[in-house]
């Protein structure tokens, strides 16, 4: 489950998200104090470091061993260094050291493009079912995936045949209202993770042509008071983060829409259990009669 070092560097360079994570751990140290923590993916290593600083008694990391080596250097040779321990190997073959069978907390920078592509979603659910104690804590745990119609000039694209791309869309390109596709809580989700399907409807904001749909999400976590707290968003209204929005272009000609007109659609995503990078999208859009 070795993860991309390029993505790790992007995460570490994102001041906005790093500050949000740092603030959450600082304000909710009671959640982590004297707890055993498992970092699934260890992408940037930031969550492992913050868990150590928040008072965890032990932090295990699975995934990016290059990040794990950097964490060890950051923690130095003192008592904090002994708290952190990387576990090398495939997640399905790993055995927790010292006879441990459970952990109190799972942390993971699990989100991918359009939430599921290039994600660690499946690995977090596997770790949850295998190692997390009953009523254990996952950070971050809740994600809301949205879809919104946009108007983009495909003539400006270098590759006119592209159907999926990553970018950041400005508010001027929005042509429909947003629609919540799916709300996911990693502590309780039991859906078929190999196939995600959602029907939706959107209302046009103005007259124009819709050439694509925009996928984006916001990320939340339950704080020490039991309240669901929004951490950050990658929507058009939010500041840019290391995560890009996902644009799905319509195969056919752009749809001509009128203000207040209703559009119906269905989005399907197929992902392999341990091959989450290979997500296939299927999008259908039609106008209300």
Q: How far apart are CA 150 and CA 162, in angstroms?
A: 16
pLDDT, residue 1, reads 46
Q: Report the number of secondary-structure helices (H) and strands (E) in the chain.
A: 7, 16
Contact 48, 81 (CB under 8 A): no
Q: How far apart are CA 98 and CA 100, in angstroms?
A: 5
pLDDT, residue 2, reads 47
Q: How far apart are CA 135 and CA 116, in angstroms?
A: 24
pLDDT, residue 5, reads 42
The distance from CA 78 to its chain's CA centroid, rounded to whole angstroms, is: 33
Residue 276: band (very low, low, confident or very high) from pLDDT cuts 50, 70, 90: very low
What backbone torsions phi and psi does residue 220 show, to the nearest 5 degrees?
Answer: -135, 165
The pairing of strands 208-210 and 255-257 is: antiparallel
Give the single-character DSSP code of 270: E
Mean pLDDT of 31-60: 96
Q: Which one, of 14, 32, 70, 93, lies nearest residue 274 by Cα?
A: 93
Residue 4 has pLDDT above 70, yes or no: no
pLDDT, residue 10, reads 73
Indicate the range of 78-87, 161-170, 202-211 predicted with least confidence. 161-170
Q: Tell me the domains of the chain and their CATH numbers.
A: 5-109 (3.40.50.150), 142-287 (2.70.160.11)
Contact 97, 37 (CB under 8 A): no
Whether pTM > 0.75 for this model: the answer is yes
Mean pLDDT of the chain: 88
Indicate the range of 7-21, 112-126, 211-225, 262-276 predicted with least confidence. 262-276
More confident residue, 184 or 160: 184
pLDDT, residue 258, reads 95
């Amino acid at each position: 489950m070795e993860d991309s070092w390029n993505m790790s560097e992007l995460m570490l360079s994102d001041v906005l998200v790093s500050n949000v994570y740092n603030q959450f751990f600082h304000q909710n140290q009671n959640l982590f104090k004297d707890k055993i923590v498992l970092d699934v993916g260890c992408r940037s290593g930031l969550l492992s470091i913050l868990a150590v600083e928040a008072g965890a008694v032990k932090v295990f990391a699975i995934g990016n061993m290059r990040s794990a080596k950097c964490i060890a250097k950051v923690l130095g040779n003192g008592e904090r260094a002994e708290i952190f321990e990387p576990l090398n190997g495939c997640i399905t073959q790993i055995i927790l050291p010292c006879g441990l069978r459970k952990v109190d907390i799972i942390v993971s920078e699990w989100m991918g493009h359009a939430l599921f592509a290039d994600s660690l979603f499946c690995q977090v659910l596997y770790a949850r079912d295998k190692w997390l104690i009953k009523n254990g804590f996952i950070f971050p745990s809740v994600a809301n995936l949205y879809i919104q119609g946009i108007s983009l000039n495909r003539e400006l694209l270098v590759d006119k045949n592209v159907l999926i791309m990553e970018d950041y869309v400005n508010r001027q390109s929005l042509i429909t209202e947003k629609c919540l596709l799916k709300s996911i809580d990693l502590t309780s989700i039991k859906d078929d993770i190999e196939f995600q399907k959602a029907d939706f409807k959107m209302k046009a904001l103005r007259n124009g042509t819709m050439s694509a749909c925009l996928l984006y999400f916001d990320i939340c976590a339950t704080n020490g008071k039991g309240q669901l707290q929004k951490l950050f968003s990658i929507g058009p209204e939010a500041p840019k983060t290391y995560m890009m929005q996902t644009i799905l272009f319509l195969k056919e000609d752009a749809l001509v829409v009128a203000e207040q007109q209703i559009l119906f659609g269905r989005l399907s995503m197929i992902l392999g259990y341990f091959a989450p990078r290979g997500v296939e999208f299927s999008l259908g859009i039609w106008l209300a009669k």
